[in-house]
Amino acid sequence: MLALATVGFAVNFWAWALLSPLAVKFTTVLQLTSFEQALLVAVPVIVGSVGRIPVGALTDRFGGRIMFPLVSAATIVPVLFLGLLGHGSLAALLIGGFFLGIGGTTFAVGVPFVNAWFPPERRGTAVGIFGAGMGGTAISALTTVKLVDAYGTAAPFVITAIVLAVYAVVSYALMRDAPNRPVPTAPLASRLATTLKLKITWQASALYAVAFGGYVAFSVYLPAYLKTAYGLTQADAANRMAGFVVLAVIMRPVGGWLSDRIAAHRVLGCSLAIVVAAALVQSLTPGLAPVGTIAFLSMAAALGAGSGATFALVAQKAPAQQVGSVTGVVGAAGGLGGFVPPLVMGVIYGQLDDYALGLVLLAAVSAAALLLDVFSVGRGRRTPEGAAHV
């Protein structure tokens, strides 16, 4: 079940990230401004983020066995639209990108699905392994541009649609919800209201907005940044972004595993401290080899581990029947955290012709999250039931 969920997460994230590697191409062909380019890659992120709130609550009610194939099948429509019809204008790309965001909601399906299959002492590792499915963005980064160059714009979209269809059928046939999965009976609105009253919801949301938000922001904006700041080719920039993503993906289950063995807030604290230092170094736009590369890879490792640790915290402290709802809200915060930075970076570069201020802002926000982790999360108490009142 863990393997099926992880594959589903990866496939849907592959679809969710299809526009990012092509942003430079669309910018050239459609003569987009830096803000329009940033908006193009950010729209699927915000929809996939906000959509996690209702999808997480629906997963609590109906289970991952229904929601995984349903979301995967729904994502096929915008993927085919973008590949076959919707890449000729900015308006069409934004419309297709809006509905492409559906693929990003699978995160809120997988966490409660996986969580229900494992005992509390193993949930950090299990959810961390599931979170490695965010490596679907690396598949997109490594293949999309190559497929477009070799076979035309439609190729990566059609291939992804086929993979989504296969996964929807396989998951419907093979997936099973945990037999002891708690099923809430309260109405959706009531469950969401209760979720918003939990302290862990807001603590984890703030931390995930920085950890996963930083990962998403770099995974969608890094190619444009590297091309503009260092003059790299589109293919080279996409490959380097894939390296950033792969390292973050590897470190996510490591962060969950460490959280099962030491306090999750300690893993988060170390991760955020590394992000602060690396972002300040990169704000000086050092040479790409070796300082710039080390700075970005350090941030990738820290953001991946921090993302894994955040959901280890959720798995350990959220009430069992509300894990999906809490995941939805926290996942939305993470996605929104990834939506804002590309827009800010685009505006800053458009005004100042430099990215330094944007990276300094990342360091400042990470420092604020570090303070929250040390003085609030780290001093919380865990209830006997593992509930979230801390």
* pLDDT tens digits, one per residue of 108-156: 899 889 988 998 888 888 988 998 888 888 888 889 989 999 999 999 9
Q: Is the pLDDT of residue 343 over 80?
A: no
What sign results for the dihedral spanned by CA atoms 349, 352, 355, 360? negative
DSSP per-residue string spanning 84-152: HTTTSSHHHHHHHHHHHGGGGGHHHHHHHHHHTTS-GGGHHHHHHHHHGGGGHHHHHHHHHHHHHHHH-
Average pLDDT for 224-232: 86
389 located within any domain: no
The one-letter amino acid code at 153 reads T
Mean pLDDT over residues 298-308, rounded? 94
Q: Quick check: is 101 in a domain?
A: yes
Average pLDDT over every residue of 284-299: 92
Question: Under DSSP, is residue 354 helix (H, G, I), strand (E, B) or coil?
Answer: coil
List b or e across 371-389, with b for residues whose CB sees 16 or more CB atoms inside 10 angstroms.
ebbbebbeebeeeeeebbe
How many domains is the chain partitioned into structurally? 1
Residue 386 pLDDT exceeds 50: no
Q: Which tens digits make up the pLDDT trace of 174-193?
A: 999 999 887 887 887 888 88
Q: With respect to residue 203, please indicate whether it lies within any of the assigned structural domains.
A: yes
Looking at this protein, which amino acid is placed at residue 208? Y
| Cis bond upstream, residue 319 (ω within 30) | no
Question: Per the structure block, which two tokens stand in for 381?
Answer: 């108490």
383 inside domain: no
Q: What is the pLDDT of residue 145?
A: 87
* pLDDT score recorded for residue 87: 85
pLDDT at position 385 is 41
Q: What is the mean pLDDT of residues 188-204?
A: 88
Position 385 in a domain: no
Specify if 283 maps to a domain.
Answer: yes
Residue 195 in tokens: 């979720």
Torsion of CA 303, 13, 2, 49, to 10 degrees: 70
Average pLDDT over residues 314-323: 80
Quick check: is 198 in a domain?
A: yes
Structure-token pair, residue 27? 């910018």
The CATH number of whichever domain residue 161 belongs to comes to 1.20.1250.20
pLDDT (average), residues 62-72: 95
384 domain-assigned:
no
pLDDT(229) > 80: yes
pLDDT tens for residues 37-54?
Answer: 878 888 888 888 889 889
Helix, strand or coil, per DSSP, at residue 386: coil
Which pLDDT score is estimated for 282? 93
pLDDT bracket for residue 387 (50, 70, 90): very low
Domain, as residue range, for 128: 2-377
pLDDT bracket for residue 380 (50, 70, 90) = low
Smallest CA-to-CA distance from 322 within 131, 203, 130, 193 is with: 193
Residues 6+ apart with CB under 8 A from 278: 295, 296, 298, 299, 302
